[in-house]
Amino acid sequence: MDEKFQAGTEGLKYAASKGLAVIVMEPIAGGRLAIKPSAVIQEFWETAKIKRSPAEWALQWVWNHPEVAVVLSGMSTYQQVIENIASAERSSISHLTEDELLLIGKVASKYRELGPIGCTGCRYCMPCPNGVAIPEIFSLTNEYWAGDRNASIKQKYKETLKPEQYAKNCIKCGICEEACPQHLPIRELLRSSGQTFESER
């Protein structure tokens, strides 16, 4: 997803050509690629001969590059530590097949088309009992990622939404998830969007 963001793949190869070891941060896009994908994205993954979780696909793609020296992946549970270690043990340089790389390219294109959140804006999740503007937040999140994380979208979030509509107001009741025809993990996605737009950093 970030091949052309900041230094990107071109910068990775350039640094390696100068003998510099490269450390890759956020190989799973800040955890967004580990979140259960929309049905249309999952259909792509189901066509693969070797079944992997979305997080492992992301990690394997990074480790596939010979120029990468170290991958820093955030882990918040012990189970994620176990899974990441197992994934690392299965990895190697140029390990992915041509078909797998083509599949990853198709998934990346679909993510760019839909955004990291496969919300269709149907509004079945609304009204939120606590006033959270779920579809608007997801639309802004997708716009932010599709626009190479342009800081102006963070400002747009604050200008478009009232504080009482912010993601941080989610009380995790789960009513929205029961109504979502895309079966999105809305509570987790709101938490992630809140970190993106409402963090003081």
109 and 12 in a common domain: yes
139 and 81 in a common domain: no
Tell whether 176 is covered by a domain: yes
Band (104; pLDDT cuts 50, 70, 90): very high
Helix axes 151-160, 186-198, angle to 10 degrees: 110
Contact 151, 73 (CB under 8 A): no
46 and 100 in a common domain: yes
Indicate whether 201 pLDDT > 60: no
- Pairing relation of β-strands 22-25 and 68-72? parallel
Residue 89, domain extent: 8-114
What is the number of domains present in the chain? 2
Tell whether 50 is covered by a domain: yes
Q: Provide the phi-psi class of 19: left if phi over 0, else alpha when psi is between -120 and 50, else beta.
A: left
Q: Mind listing the pLDDT tens digit for each residue in 108-151?
A: 888 777 667 878 788 999 999 999 999 999 999 988 876 667 78
139 and 41 in a common domain: no
107 and 142 in a common domain: no
100 and 23 in a common domain: yes
- From the list 123, 120, 142, 118, the residue with the least C-alpha distance to 133 is 123
110 and 154 in a common domain: no
pLDDT value at position 182? 78
178 and 104 in a common domain: no
